[in-house]
């Protein structure tokens, strides 16, 4: 699928990802507290997989980092910069949209339902942000699009609309579209959950290339335990708005501390 | 008085009525252009985050939609000049310009609702993808939201514009020499009402029916593509 294995690691595997630090982050929807004073630090280039029962708040972790949901309290730092706060006259105040936009340029996200722009071709989907946000010329953006779509194995689908692509192909376009922004942190929200089983593999292959590239910080919410145990530097078991336990995949999958984790893993693996 | 349909008379006066129809069509077309552009401005204004902006827009839209077009035309034509130039008996705009503005603004308010429905039908995921790519708000609207929302608004807009065309003869009430005014003046001059009015109605059919088919064609096209 990937003709050039080094294409996924243009910096030769150097870790140029950003550190993500969440401290005491709380987020509630009405009475439903989905994140409870969450402390989480992710190192540059680290691949963190978040697992846990649905409704446990794991997707919300990604959504607050992407600024799709605003946090109620606490703070988040990306690459050493406050995401939701900025300093003004020596005081930490709520960040302006401009500040948030500036920090957010290091982050991108891939969604469960792809969210491709249906009126644009694969190529145009990838070209939009480089042209409008990074100020690339049409020619440069086109090169970027061809390179990245080639990297995810879709060099022959450049001018196809999303409606003409399979789920797995759509998701690979979506990954290429996010990569075009050259984010330091990439968030993957159940990116294989909406796919037919036979299409999951092609997306996981792309994710493996990215994870083994090692330069980008990756946070993934997924139910693909095989992928997690193979690629994750760290696995977080999330339950009821808290990190129940965390550690290398070998520990979490083979020797979990909590009965809750054991039960969850059994349920997921048996299904 | 003759009571039978007089073909000779009908053909003789047909060019005049056609000319009147031309004025009605022009008023409608210019009104459509105003309604399309102003309607989009109203729709976006109504969605503004600040209440100081969105409330006046919402209030204006509701106000215009809830009052009859005829009253609005009378107001624009007779009342507005007396407010702007008190004490003088004057008319600020020609009847035709008044009709065009009246139709345009009235239907802009309906169009804004059609746009709004189209905008609301764009899935939330599209906005989220725009955020994940760090697109600016204006880029998001121009490149992502409106190209999807406007095609979905077209069938509703088309129906409104067919309705607008059929409302345009109301200009006769302020003296626009459109199709209805022409037919009526021929009728009062000759005391023959049937031929002029039937001719006028026939001309409406000839234009409205293809227009309605065209709207239905767009509807189907949009339906299949989305």
**Chain B residues with a Cβ under 8 Å from any Cβ in chain A:** 123, 125-126, 128-129, 131-136, 139, 143-144, 147-148, 226
- What's the CA gap between A23 and A174, in Å, rounded? 30
Which pLDDT score is estimated for B224? 59
Within its chain, how far is the Cα of B65 from the centroid? 12
pLDDT of residue A269: 79
CA distance A23 to A41: 8
- pLDDT for position A15: 42
- B78, B83, B95, B108, B173 from B90: Cα distances, Å: 8, 11, 12, 27, 18
Return the pLDDT at B219. Answer: 80
Which chain B residues touch A104 with a CB distance below 8 Å?
131, 134
Mean pLDDT of A35-63: 93
> Are the C-beta atoms of residues B107 and B35 closer than 8 Å to each other?
yes
For A82-111, b/e burial (b = at least 16 CB within 10 A) is: bbbbbeeeeeeeebeeebbbebbbbbbbbb
Nearest Cα residue in chain B from A178: B133
For residue B90, what pLDDT is reported?
Answer: 67
- Ranges of chain B with pLDDT below 70: 1-3, 89-92, 223-226
Which chain B residue has the Cα nearest residue A100? B134
* Closest in B126, B131, B143 to A68, CB measured: B131
Q: What is the nearest CA distance from A257 to chain B, expressed in angstroms? A: 35
Residues of A within 8 A of B147 (CB-CB) are 119
Taking CB atoms and an 8 Å limit, are B129 and A101 in contact across chains?
no
On the 0-12 / 13-18 / 19+ scale of CB atoms within 10 A, A152 is buried
Closest residue to A68, CB basis, from B128, B133, B147:
B128
The DSSP letter of residue A162 is G
pLDDT band at A16 (very low <50, low <70, confident <90, very high): confident
CA distances from A101 to A80, A214, B127, B134, B226 (A): 15, 25, 15, 7, 31
pLDDT of residue A55: 78
Whether residues B128 and A111 touch (CB distance < 8 A) is answered with yes
Pair A120, B125: CB distance under 8 Å? no
Report the pLDDT value the prediction gives residue A153, as an integer from 0 to 100: 94
Give every CB contact of residue A151 below 8 A, 6+ residues apart in sequence: A2, A4, A7, A8, A176, A179, A209
* pLDDT for position B89: 66
Residue A110 structure tokens:
């891939």
Of residues B128, B143, B147, nearest to A132 (C-beta): B143
Residue B91 pLDDT: 64
How far are the Cα atoms of A217, B18, B157, B198 from residue B181, in angstroms, in the given order?
73, 12, 27, 13
Report chain B residues whose CB lies below 8 A from the CB of A111: 125, 128-129, 132
CB contact under 8 A, B125 and A113: yes
pLDDT of residue B226: 52
Burial class (CB in 10 A: 0-12, 13-18, 19+), B27: buried
Residue A171: alpha-carbon gap to chain centroid: 13
Q: What is the pTM of this model?
A: 0.87
Mean pLDDT over residues A236-257, rounded? 92
Q: Does A129 contact B128 at a Cβ distance shorter than 8 Å?
A: no
Contact between residue B21 and residue B29 where contact means Cβ atoms under 8 Å apart: no
CB–CB of B143/B135 below 8 Å? yes
Q: What is the pLDDT of residue A1?
A: 43
d(C-alpha A32, C-alpha B175), whole Å: 64
Quote the tokens at residue A93: 């105040």
Contact B154, B222 (CB under 8 A): yes
From the list B173, B178, B171, B181, the residue with the least C-alpha distance to B207 is B178
Do B73 and B80 touch, CB atoms closer than 8 A?
no
Q: Cα–Cα distance between B6 and B10 in angstroms, integer?
A: 6
Q: How far is CA A271 from the centre of its chain?
A: 25
Look at residue A13 in the predicted model and tell me its pLDDT.
Answer: 39
B133 to chain A, minimum CA–CA distance in Å? Answer: 6
pLDDT of residue A5: 43
From chain B, the residues in CB contact with A145 under 8 A are none
Q: Do B133 and A67 touch (CB under 8 A)?
A: no
Interface test with B, best of A69, A70, A113, A115 (most B CBs within 10 A): A115
**pLDDT tens column, A150-181:** 999 999 999 999 999 999 999 999 999 999 99
B133 and A128 in contact by Cβ < 8 A? yes
> CA torsion sign, A223 to A228 to A232 to A236?
positive
Query: Do A40 and A234 touch, CB atoms closer than 8 A?
Result: no
Q: A102 to chain B: nearest residue by CA? A: B134
How open is the CA angle A223-A225-A229, to the nearest 5 degrees? 140
Query: What is the pLDDT, as a whole number, of residue A28?
Result: 94
pLDDT computed for residue B2 by the predictor: 55
Contacts of B100 (CB under 8 A, 6+ apart): B27, B30, B31, B34
pLDDT at A249 over 50: yes
What is the enclosing helix (H) or strand (E) of A133?
none
A103 pLDDT more than 80:
yes
Which pLDDT score is estimated for B222? 76
Give the Cα separation of B152 and B119 in Å (integer). Answer: 8
Residue A6, pLDDT score: 42
Q: Mean per-residue pLDDT for A137-152?
A: 96
C-alpha pair distances (Å), A10 with each of A6, A107, A210, A213, B150: 6, 18, 11, 8, 40
- Residue-wise pLDDT tens digits, A192-221: 999 999 999 999 999 999 998 878 999 999
Find chain B residues with C-beta within 8 A of A113's C-beta. 125
pLDDT of residue A148: 96
């Amino acid at each position: 699928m990937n003709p050039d294995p080094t294409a996924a690691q243009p910096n030769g595997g150097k870790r140029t990802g950003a550190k993500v630090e969440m401290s005491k982050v709380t987020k509630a929807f009405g009475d439903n507290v989905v994140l409870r004073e969450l402390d989480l630090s992710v190192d540059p280039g680290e691949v963190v997989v978040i697992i846990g029962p649905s409704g446990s708040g794991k997707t919300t972790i990604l959504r607050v980092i992407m600024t799709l949901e605003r946090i109620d309290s606490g703070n988040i730092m990306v690459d050493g910069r406050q995401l939701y706060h900025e300093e003004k006259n020596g005081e930490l105040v709520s960040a302006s949209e401009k500040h948030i936009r500036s920090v957010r340029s290091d982050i991108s996200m891939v969604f469960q339902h792809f969210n491709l722009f249906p009126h644009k071709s694969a190529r145009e989907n990838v070209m939009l942000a480089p042209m409008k946000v990074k100020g690339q010329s049409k020619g440069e953006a086109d090169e970027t699009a061809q390179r990245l779509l080639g990297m995810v194995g879709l060099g022959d689908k450049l001018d196809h609309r999303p409606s003409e692509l399979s789920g797995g192909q759509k998701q690979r376009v979506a990954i290429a579209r996010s990569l075009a922004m050259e984010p330091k942190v990439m968030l993957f929200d159940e990116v294989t959950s909406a796919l037919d089983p036979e299409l999951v593999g092609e997306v996981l292959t792309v994710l493996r290339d990215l994870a083994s590239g090692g330069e980008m910080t990756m946070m993934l919410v997924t139910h693909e335990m095989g992928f997690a145990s193979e690629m994750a530097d760290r696995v977080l078991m999330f339950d009821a708005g808290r990190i129940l336990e965390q550690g290398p995949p070998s520990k979490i999958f083979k020797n979990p501390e909590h009965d809750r984790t054991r039960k969850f893993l059994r349920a997921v693996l048996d299904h | 008085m003759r009571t039978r349909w007089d073909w000779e008379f009908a053909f003789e006066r047909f060019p005049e009525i056609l000319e009147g129809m031309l004025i009605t069509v022009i008023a409608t077309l210019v009104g459509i252009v105003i309604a399309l552009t102003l309607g989009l401005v109203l729709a976006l204004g109504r969605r503004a985050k600040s209440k100081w902006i969105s409330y006046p827009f919402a209030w204006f839209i509701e106000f215009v939609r809830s009052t009859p077009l005829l009253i609005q035309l009378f107001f624009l034509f007779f009342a507005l000049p007396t407010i702007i130039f008190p004490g003088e008996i004057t008319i600020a705009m020609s009847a035709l310009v008044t009709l065009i503005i009246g139709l345009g603004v009235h239907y802009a308010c309906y169009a804004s609702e059609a746009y709004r429905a189209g905008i609301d039908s764009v899935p939330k995921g599209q906005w989220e993808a725009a955020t994940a790519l760090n697109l600016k708000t204006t880029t998001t609207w121009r490149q992502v939201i409106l190209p999807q929302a406007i095609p979905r608004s077209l069938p509703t807009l088309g129906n409104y514009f067919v309705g607008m065309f059929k409302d345009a003869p109301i200009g006769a009430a302020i003296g626009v020499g459109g199709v209805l005014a022409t037919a009526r003046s021929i009728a009062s001059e000759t005391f023959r009402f049937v031929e002029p009015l039937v001719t006028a109605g026939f001309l409406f059919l000839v234009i409205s029916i293809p227009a309605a088919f065209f709207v239905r064609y767009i509807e189907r096209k949009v339906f299949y593509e989305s």
